[in-house]
Amino acid sequence: MKMVKLKFGFTSVRTRNWSVGISIMVLALIFIIRYEQSGHKLTTEIDEFDIEGESVQEPAKKPHLITLEDLDYLFSNREEEEDEANGLLVWSHMRPFLERPDALPETGQGIEEAALAMKGLVSLINKEKRASSSASGMVSMKARRTCPDFVNVADVDLSGLSPVLELPCGLTEDSSVTFVGVPDEHSRNFQIQLVGSGILRYGVNFSKPSIVQNTWTEKLGWGEEVRCPCHGSYENQIVDELPLCNEQTSRITLEESSNDDAMMDDFPFLRGNPFTATLWFGIEGFHMTVNGRHETSFPYREKLEPWLVSAVKVSGGLKLLSVSATRLPVPDDHASLAIEEKLKAPSLSGTRITLLVGVFSTGNNFKRRMALRRSWMQYEEVRSGNVAVRFLIGLHTNEQVNLEMWREAKAYADIQFMPFVDYYGLLSLKTVALCILGTKVIPAKYIMKTDDDAFVRIDELLLSLKNKPSSALLYGLISFDSSPDREQGSKWYIRKEEWPLGSYPPWAHGPGYIISQDIAKFVVKGHRERDLRLFKLEDVAMGIWIQQFNQTVKRVKYMNDKRFHNSGCESNYILVHYQTPRLVLCLWEKLQNESQSVCCE
């Protein structure tokens, strides 16, 4: 769970609610959703032009059941693959935790897709092996270029329903997609869709000049739409420091006539006039810039994060001259560059180490992981093996991304894979996996959880841990008094059935917290024996489990430290969050240069 600072200076756990006081406008859309077995791509056909009526058809939802077949496949003998990358050390322990009857709702889908992804990956690995053993280097070189940095298409034909652009390895923060087009003279609307595990829709309406953004997921259907010009309570909402709607556009009020030319001047899209619109992906959401001016922002929702987007669709009344996507996630070429020895995880002595740091990462975050390897993973304590850092990553729905990750795991020996796809709702299973790693695979006195966009001062952290208790410890930025988010559509939305109480027990914020080994053991045992409940917010979940430890084993020492910064950077930090790869490298350089922890922005 994250805290987001509002523009007005107050901080609240509950600020990402886009729920609005306005009544939900019924979307006049008819859609047919097909969930294709082959390749598990979501195909959506939305006929949005001629329908102004009230009829809304619910898309078909397909239940995902955990099947024994999938589980057996996932946990079948993986020795051969394990030897190669050594990335399946936790995997083999995970089966009992996935088979719980009270599994998290997305477990079925996560496992089903992971089984599919694993099959694809194994076949790619074998193909690559055959290619390299046939001594034809050409073949393997050709197989290498799988995740391009840039894709584009020109003079796009919009008559079909197929995507105008495929994004082979998804998007990442800082990626952008640029559209150059001309709305027809009599255009009523057009729309852009990003399609992946769900749909993100960006609709431009000329009959009533407005922009509508919304998301569709299999689980929740269409969410709450955000409309610009905006009215109501989301007017002040901020995403990556940008407002949801440009203020100038917002001056257009619903009362004004839609044919008012003066008003149309402020609307970013004009019929018959060319536009260049760039959709770019920030840390908290995506943003649209039209002809150089920021127009709209929209926070990410569950299942609609950039890494899950696989294609772009465009439809409606416009001529589309070109679409291009840039700054796409590209892995380093681990094979051709001789790996610098200092970037590879050192081998561990086998005795109990001081600290294990589990970094939660996801498939195509190649750049973030490289930035960490080149920065705080270079601390002497890490290089000497007293502190171990491991990335915990679920499988990706795209097999090329999986293959790249596999190569990365082999090259750096610091990745542990999860037997499920990285859905946000399954994060707390990763937390259990980290506890397994820190107790059974790499036993450590303390276990830390962090994210791949956090910078950790290992030296300062170890210093601080020196005078902390070695048992029954939770250390980090602790929330002692917080309550569940009941706003549907929020990434942190919790139903009454999931957590009936009005408040949570104390928990430490997810970007960085530390527990002692005895608590990690308790977590593993508690889940194996099913005494501990699963809960989708991993950091709150840890707080819930720790409260149970406090009640049944030993009194817990909750140690709060404000030097763990949850959003952004402040000097004299132990940990800062929301740092792009560029900032992570800059922070490291600053530490080398000035030997004090100052921020880069």
Ligand X SMILES: *[C@@H]1O[C@H](CO)[C@@H](O)[C@H](O)[C@H]1NC(C)=O
**Amino acid letter, residue 339:** I
Q: Which is nearer to ligand X, 48 or 408 (CB)?
A: 48
Closest approach, Cβ 554 to ligand X, in A, equals 8
351 contacts 391 by C-beta, under 8 angstroms:
no
Closest approach, Cβ 333 to ligand X, in A, equals 27
Q: Which is nearer to ligand X, 186 or 466 (CB)?
A: 186
162 contacts 174 by C-beta, under 8 angstroms:
no
Residue partners of 289: CB distance under 8 A and separation at least 6: 277, 278, 280, 295
Closest approach, Cβ 474 to ligand X, in A, equals 10
User: What's the token pair of residue 589?
Assistant: 């350089």
* Cα 551 from Cα 360, distance rounded (Å): 29
414 contacts 387 by C-beta, under 8 angstroms:
no
Give the number of other CB atoms < 10 A from CB of residue 355.
Answer: 21
Closest approach, Cβ 57 to ligand X, in A, equals 15
Nearest alpha carbon to residue 413 among 342, 512, 337, 331? 342
Residue partners of 500: CB distance under 8 A and separation at least 6: none
Q: Which is nearer to ligand X, 143 or 600 (CB)?
A: 600
Q: Which is nearer to ligand X, 79 or 594 (CB)?
A: 594
Q: Which is nearer to ligand X, 4 or 544 (CB)?
A: 544
* Cα 179 from Cα 323, distance rounded (Å): 5
Closest approach, Cβ 147 to ligand X, in A, equals 29
Q: Which is nearer to ligand X, 496 or 555 (CB)?
A: 555
Closest approach, Cβ 221 to ligand X, in A, equals 17
Q: Residue 229: is the preceding peptide bond cis (ω within 30°)? A: yes
Give the number of other CB atoms < 10 A from CB of residue 577.
Answer: 24
* Cα 45 from Cα 62, distance rounded (Å): 17
Q: Which is nearer to ligand X, 178 or 547 (CB)?
A: 547
Nearest alpha carbon to residue 398 among 196, 135, 215? 196
Q: How far is CA 302 from CA 219, 423, 432, 496, in A?
A: 10, 8, 21, 19
Counting Cα atoms < 13 Å in the Cβ hemisphere of 478 gives 20
Q: Which is nearer to ligand X, 179 or 190 (CB)?
A: 190
Report angle CA 500, 96, 554 to the nearest 5 degrees.
60
Residue partners of 496: CB distance under 8 A and separation at least 6: 486
SS3 call for 346: coil
Closest approach, Cβ 22 to ligand X, in A, equals 13
Residue 454, Cα to own-chain centre: how many angstroms? 14
Closest approach, Cβ 304 to ligand X, in A, equals 20
Residue of this chain nearest to ligand X (CB atom): 208
* Cα 530 from Cα 557, distance rounded (Å): 25
394 contacts 422 by C-beta, under 8 angstroms:
yes
Binding site for ligand X (CB under 6 A): 28, 48, 52, 189, 203, 205, 207-208, 212, 505-506, 547, 550, 555, 586, 589-590, 593
Q: Which is nearer to ligand X, 167 or 585 (CB)?
A: 585
Closest approach, Cβ 225 to ligand X, in A, equals 9
Closest approach, Cβ 234 to ligand X, in A, equals 18
Q: Which is nearer to ligand X, 360 or 549 (CB)?
A: 549
Q: Which is nearer to ligand X, 187 or 237 (CB)?
A: 187
Closest approach, Cβ 600 to ligand X, in A, equals 7
Q: Which is nearer to ligand X, 189 or 439 (CB)?
A: 189
Residue with tokens 């920021």: 294
Closest approach, Cβ 28 to ligand X, in A, equals 5
414 contacts 389 by C-beta, under 8 angstroms:
yes
Residue partners of 165: CB distance under 8 A and separation at least 6: 151, 152, 153, 177, 311, 312, 323, 325
